[in-house]
A and B are shown apart, each in its own frame.
Chain A
Amino acid sequence: MKAKIIITPKKAVVDPQGKTVQVALEHMGYKGVGAVHVGKYLEIELHGSDQEGARKQIDDACHKILSNPVIEDYRFEIE
């Protein structure tokens, strides 16, 4: 199994990286570019086949260490 986790900055947190990328895209002539949010992508290989157990464990890890709930949101899938 594999956990695929996406961590993004909360909307209320200023994201200067995203803003800079947005400006660069506009500068390069890409049309219709709106707000950009730069986050993180993690892939975690998991042993075993207990999807529900893995889901609980990954959710706990996301909450405790992989993301900071004060400034970030996360979502993930197990496959």
Chain B
Amino acid sequence: MNFAVLQFPASNCDQDALHVLKNVLGHSAWYAWHKDTSLGNADAIVIPGGFSYGDYLRTGAIARFSPIMQVVQNFAAQGGPVLGICNGFQILTEAGLLPGALVRNRSLQFRCEQVFLKTENNNTAFTQTIPPDKLLRVPIAHGEGCYFADPETLAKLNSTGQVLWRYVDAQGQQTEIANPNGSLENIAGICNEQRNVAGLMPHPERASESLLGSADGRLILESLVKWLEARQTQRAA
């Protein structure tokens, strides 16, 4: 499969994402610079973490208007899968590709630690290979990861299965202590209504090799690969 990994000034997880897609999962992956106006023949897009444009104004606010994001908008509108990680999630909400917003952590602290995620919907392009009831151990590293949405949006996310992951403790319980940033209802990641655009604050690409302490994050990227392969087979038939 072919993956485009976006690069903005001050992206800093772009290399990690490319490494996992290319060297760990064995797929073709390349960078798409923020000024580019084409994604090549990418099957999927990963928007990596970082501090795009210095996080000036708001996280993701400036990146969202870069030339490459106009291409991403079209790609997503045609059903192409897009995964935003950390700053990538923030950019997707600013771009209106995902509902809600990410605001300052309730503690006002930058949190850099391991968390546990419970997958709420195992039937999407981003979650289908995650075994039911398996908790994902992945790291977070952010200062503005507190998920906010108005009550109507939140109700809709819940009723349509758009909440993909929540922060839980090691026993899988959704507690306040397990919530590292004050996100509403412990939300760590969501997808759009069409289920082809997803974002999460934790870093699956930093937990894709057991050498790094956890390979749980790989399940998210492998889900996407499996989904793309199924689509390819379907198209060929």
Contacts and interface: CB of A to CB of B under 8 A. Distances in A.
Contacts of B146: 14
A13 B182 CA distance: 11
Interface residues of B, number: 20
Nearest to A64: B65
Size category of the binding interface on chain A: 10 to 19
A41 to B, nearest CB: 13
A65 B63 CA distance: 11
A16 B94 contact: no
Interface SS of B by simple majority: loop
Interface in A53-74: 65-66, 68, 70-71
A20 interface: yes
Contacts of A20: 108
Contacts of B58: 68
A14 B106 contact: yes
Interface in B155-214: 182
Interface string B88-99: 000001100000
Interface of B: 57-58, 61-62, 65, 93-94, 100-101, 103-108, 146, 148-150, 182
For the complex of A and B, the 7 pairs showing the least CB-CB separation, nearest first, are A70-B101, A71-B101, A16-B108, A16-B106, A13-B148, A68-B101, A68-B58
Interface of A: 9, 12-14, 16-17, 20, 65-66, 68, 70-71
12 contacts: A14-B106, A14-B148, A16-B104, A16-B182, A17-B108, A65-B65, A66-B57, A68-B58, A68-B101, A70-B148, A70-B149, A71-B148
